[in-house]
Chains A and B, each alone.
Chain A
Amino acid sequence: MARYDSLLDACGGTPLVGLPRLSPTVPDGAPPVRLWAKLEDRNPTGSIKDRAALFMVRAAEEAGRLRPGDTILEPTSGNTGISLAMVAKLRGYRLVCVMPENVSTERVQLLRMYGAEIIFSPAAGGSNQAVATAKQIAAEHPDWVMLFQYGNEANARAHYETTGPELLHDLPTITHFVAGLGTTGTLMGTGRYLREKVDGIQVVAAEPRYGELVYGLRNIDEGYVPELYDATVLSRRFSVGTRDAVLRTRQLVEVEGIFAGFSTGAILHAALAVAHEAVRDGRRADVAFVVADGGWKYLSTGAYGGTLADAEDALEGQLWA
């Protein structure tokens, strides 16, 4: 389908493309092991978050929580804010984003362009500062609506109702689904759907491992696990460091011509790990993974060029996924 009534109707329905050059070579006579990329950068604002933003706003409208002219408040380090800004603009809401100042300049420019207002939280204060800032804003504006993507069932439902069915339709032989673990919405929704429909499906999480600044909590009890997270949906969970994420991001564009953001590199790293295990065990595998967004918003980091060590330094202390 190539014609839509509005941009919001063009959300989802993204292509699934094979990666013949990056898929591992199998010995003669062995069952095939293939990698497939779900190009979520083809969504209206260029990331997978459009699906969740649209579903969360619709759910809030249907529940009567959101009325024309209302203000939406969302703490976000990027893509969700951009998606919400677009949806808010088209549906008639004002959006205020709270975000740390150590995100890429492109994200800030995009948010402002879509009409969002931004409140920065100092990067140096880490998450403790962010907590303080968020509490203060919430106290001052009790009438603002927070969609709370980390605990909003519509976030996961977007993927249960769209991403999962699309994948199964395009790749009925799917054996593995690999995606990034942030709010956990993509993995929970798509994972639940695929588990219901595909015997033996492996649902694999790739979690970005950031530099130390990001983990600068005062103690363990200040940690946070998103309300949406249900470990029983996952089969495995990998932690992927900056260097591996950058290496795979570069490999994806060099070998297959797909220009993606660094979270996708982390996801590809985990996808390759399970693909190579399948080759070793002589098992057939169709590994579908998510290309969460394109690389445009991260060009200013400089991490697409130079040595891997330079790139690692460039991304140190940044939320690159």
Chain B
Amino acid sequence: MAIEVRIPTILRSYTGGAKVVEGSGDTLGDLLADLDSRHGGLRARLVTDAGALHRFVNVYVNDEDVRFLGALDAKLNDGDSVTILPAVAGGAFGFAAAAAIAGHRAAVAAR
């Protein structure tokens, strides 16, 4: 069973630079385990020690966020397309800058 997985730039060091890799599995959890057998270390960047998806990682099956489809238990089918993205959508600039300024202000307030 082949499932196409799109890898973001920041995680391509685990796939030898490949933008798209193939894997298999009945669920997202199975798929990530399968990928990790060939791309060691990749799973640990996506899943926390507690076994949940990392807060700043978004995974989509056929363009839909897996957190609303059962997360790591989300069912997969042959021919599905999985996309992994860092959580910055909706304006990476705004989010990052806002977080930075908020962090700075909190630090100032705490002094």
- Neighbouring B residues of A259 by C-beta, 8 Å: none
Assembly CA distance A280 to B102 (angstroms): 46
Partner of B90, one of A99, A130, A131, A207: A207
Partner of A121, one of B57, B93, B101: B93
Q: Which of A53-61, A105-113, A145-153 contacts B (4 or more CB under 8 A)?
A: A145-153
Partner of B55, one of A99, A183, A225, A236: A225
The minimal Cβ–Cβ distance linking A128 to chain B, given in whole angstroms, is 8
- Neighbouring B residues of A146 by C-beta, 8 Å: 101-102, 105
Identity of the chain A residue whose Cβ is nearest the Cβ of B90 in the assembled complex? A182
Say yes or no: is B15 at the interface (Cβ < 8 Å to chain A).
no
- Neighbouring A residues of B100 by C-beta, 8 Å: 130-131, 134-135, 138
Given contacts A146-B101, A149-B98, A220-B57, A77 and B89 within 8 Å (CB-CB)? no
Given contacts A219-B10, A239-B60, A239-B85, A148 and B93 within 8 Å (CB-CB)? no
Say yes or no: is A88 at the interface (Cβ < 8 Å to chain B).
no
Say yes or no: is B2 at the interface (Cβ < 8 Å to chain A).
no
Assembly CA distance A181 to B96 (angstroms): 16
- Neighbouring A residues of B27 by C-beta, 8 Å: none
B88 touches A224 (CB 8 A): yes
Say yes or no: is A126 at the interface (Cβ < 8 Å to chain B).
yes
Say yes or no: is B1 at the interface (Cβ < 8 Å to chain A).
no
| A-B CB contacts (within 8 Å), total count | 162
Assembly CA distance A148 to B94 (angstroms): 10
Mask, A199-210, CB within 8 Å of B = 1, is 000000101111
Say yes or no: is B67 at the interface (Cβ < 8 Å to chain A).
yes
Partner of A226, one of B45, B56, B95, B105: B95
The minimal Cβ–Cβ distance linking A215 to chain B, given in whole angstroms, is 6
Q: Which residues of A contact B (CB under 8 A)?
A: 73, 75-77, 98-100, 121, 126-128, 130-131, 133-135, 137-139, 142, 146, 148-151, 180-184, 205, 207-210, 212, 214-226, 231, 234-241, 319, 321
Identify 5 residue pairs between A and B in the complex whose beta-carbon atoms are under 8 Å apart, listed by A's number. Answer: A100-B93, A127-B96, A225-B56, A239-B60, A239-B65
Q: A131-B99, A208-B90, A210-B89 are in contact. List 18 more A-B contacts (CB 8 A).
A: A127-B95, A134-B96, A134-B98, A146-B105, A150-B99, A182-B94, A209-B85, A209-B89, A212-B9, A215-B86, A223-B56, A224-B87, A224-B88, A236-B64, A237-B65, A239-B58, A239-B85, A241-B63
